[in-house]
Amino acid sequence: MELSHIEHLGIAVKSLEEAIPYYENILGLKCYSIEEVADQKVRTAFFKVGQTKIELLEPTCPESTIAGFIEKRGEGIHHLAFAVADGVANALAEVEAKGVRLIDKAPRKGAEGLNIAFLHPKSTGSVLTELCENPNK
Ligand code: CO
């Protein structure tokens, strides 16, 4: 597996409207997209720093895993996403063969229609880790 860069950091927030002004007015970033990902029960807001994105995640209902995360651990960094240069399916097969526990056995569509898959924090030093299709390819 070849990681090309940190694709994004996922940050759990209670409210996009309350979180966005910090990124725009203090950090000087521009929110370029707000998107609802229905099957993950979240609304997302995207910013770019170089080629790395910041993805704010707001739960759309109490059953959302993001709602559960915020309840347990509060708002903050939720996951780390790497862009893989050689395809998410290949990367999953490779890490599974090395004994890594997977949340997603096969790639699925994430925000922006890109293939993604999550690795289980039990196998990643407690950092929820996402592998993403490299959007620049
Ligand atoms: Co993500």
Q: What pLDDT, on a 0 to 100 scale, did the predictor assign at position 109?
A: 86
Q: What pLDDT, on a 0 to 100 scale, did the predictor assign at position 137?
A: 57
Q: What pLDDT, on a 0 to 100 scale, did the predictor assign at position 40?
A: 86
**Single-letter amino acid code for the residue at 86:** D
Q: How far is the CA of 41 from the centre of ligand 1 (A)?
A: 13
Q: What is the pTM of this model?
A: 0.91
Domain ranges of the chain: 3-133
Report pLDDT digits (tens) over 12-60.
999 999 999 999 999 999 999 999 988 889 999 999 999 999 999 999 9
- Bigger pLDDT: 137 vs 51: 51
Report pLDDT digits (tens) over 100-129.
999 999 999 876 778 999 999 999 999 999
Question: What is the three-state SS of 39-62?
Answer: HHCEEEEEEEECCEEEEEEEECCC
Q: How far is the CA of 44 from the centre of ligand 1 (A)?
A: 9
End-to-end C-alpha distance for the chain, whole angstroms: 15
Q: How far is the CA of 112 from the centre of ligand 1 (A)?
A: 10
DSSP codes, the chain: --EEEEEEEEEE-S-HHHHHHIIIIIS-----EEEEEGGGTEEEEEEEETTEEEEEEEESSTTSHHHHHHHHH-SEEEEEEEEETT-HHHHHHHHHHTT--BS-SS-EE-GGG-EEEEE-GGGTTT--EEEEE-TT-
Q: How far is the CA of 9 from the centre of ligand 1 (A)?
A: 7
Q: Which CATH architecture has domain 3-133?
A: Roll (3.10)
Q: What pLDDT, on a 0 to 100 scale, did the predictor assign at position 101?
A: 97
Report pLDDT digits (tens) over 68-98.
999 999 999 999 999 999 899 999 999 999 9
Q: What pLDDT, on a 0 to 100 scale, did the predictor assign at position 134?
A: 82
